[in-house]
């Protein structure tokens, strides 16, 4: 009696499910029970990619090159025996294309700050596969835990300007799962905001009062002072 055919297993034997452009991957498809010969067919999104015949119980090996975004997605294989009226499908493997990140941009709503002020810094890489991990620095010193963003949004930290030493150069770095692809941002510096003297509002107020008195005196000359002068002659 012919041996009952089992569902084949699709296994990744070379490469990774997160792939970069021009990367080679190898898939193995094998039905562990059944009577050879057997025909294995590989599908991507239900479209046939390749087919191999095996006369024994050795796996069919499919080597692929990821050359475009259309090469990623869901893969399955199908095993068909001559004695079978149909075929059986394997589990699916899903490939994801990872892309390098762009240089992150470090920014703040304000470029000026003074001692005792709270400020924020935002770091964002506009391109690259998610998730993206960010880290903030002042000089060469790390000033925050790393922040992993699952969405295309900036990582934000809050700082307290406590002394003049907090006005150094800040940077951030970003990386994702793309190999050897850490990028650093531009440098960002806060400038010291000029603090107004407490006497300034008083000086301005006194100046306005004096100006109003001068204007008032000038307006009073033709109406009061000149008539009084003429009356006294």
Domain with residue 168: its CATH number is 2.60.40.10
* Tokens, residue 70: 């259309």
66 and 18 inside one domain: yes
Whether 229 is in a domain gets the answer no
119 and 170 inside one domain: yes
pLDDT at 2 over 60: no
120 and 178 inside one domain: yes
- Mean pLDDT is lowest, of 8-17, 165-174, 190-199, for 190-199
* pLDDT reported for residue 215: 83
Whether 156 is in a domain gets the answer yes
Domain count, the chain: 2
* pLDDT reported for residue 1: 44
Last residue of a domain, one of 51, 70, 97: 97
Section 154-161 average pLDDT: 95
- Mean pLDDT is lowest, of 8-22, 35-49, 187-201, for 187-201
Give the structural domain span for 27: 9-97
Last residue of a domain, one of 97, 125, 140: 97
Name the DSSP class of 230.
Answer: H
Nearest to 117 by CA among 58, 81, 164: 164
Section 16-35 average pLDDT: 92
Confidence band of 155 (pLDDT split at 50, 70, 90):
very high
CB neighbours of 102 closer than 8 A, spacing ≥ 6?
125, 126, 127, 128, 183
């Amino acid at each position: 009696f012919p041996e009952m055919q089992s569902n084949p297993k699709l296994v990744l034997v070379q490469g990774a499910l997160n792939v970069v452009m021009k990367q080679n991957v190898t898939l193995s498809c094998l039905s562990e029970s059944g009577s050879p010969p057997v025909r294995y067919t590989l599908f991507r999104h239900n479209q046939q990619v390749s087919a191999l015949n095996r006369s024994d119980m050795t796996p069919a090996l499919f080597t692929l090159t990821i050359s475009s975004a259309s090469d990623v997605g869901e893969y399955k294989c199908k095993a068909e025996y001559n004695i079978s009226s149909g075929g059986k499908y394997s589990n699916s493997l899903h490939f994801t294309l990872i892309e390098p990140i762009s240089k992150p941009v470090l920014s703040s709503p304000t470029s000026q700050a003074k001692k005792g002020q709270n400020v924020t810094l935002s770091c964002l890489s506009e391109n690259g596969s998610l998730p993206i991990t960010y880290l903030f620095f002042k000089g060469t010193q790390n000033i925050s835990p790393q922040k992993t963003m699952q969405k295309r949004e900036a990582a934000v930290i809050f700082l307290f300007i406590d002394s003049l030493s907090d006005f150094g150069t800040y940077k951030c770095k970003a990386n994702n799962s793309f190999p050897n692809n850490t990028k650093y941002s531009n440098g960002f510096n806060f400038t010291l905001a000029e603090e107004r003297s407490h006497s300034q509002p008083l000086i301005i107020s006194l100046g306005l009062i004096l100006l109003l008195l001068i204007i008032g005196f000038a307006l009073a000359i033709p109406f009061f002072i000149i008539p009084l002068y003429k009356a006294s002659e």
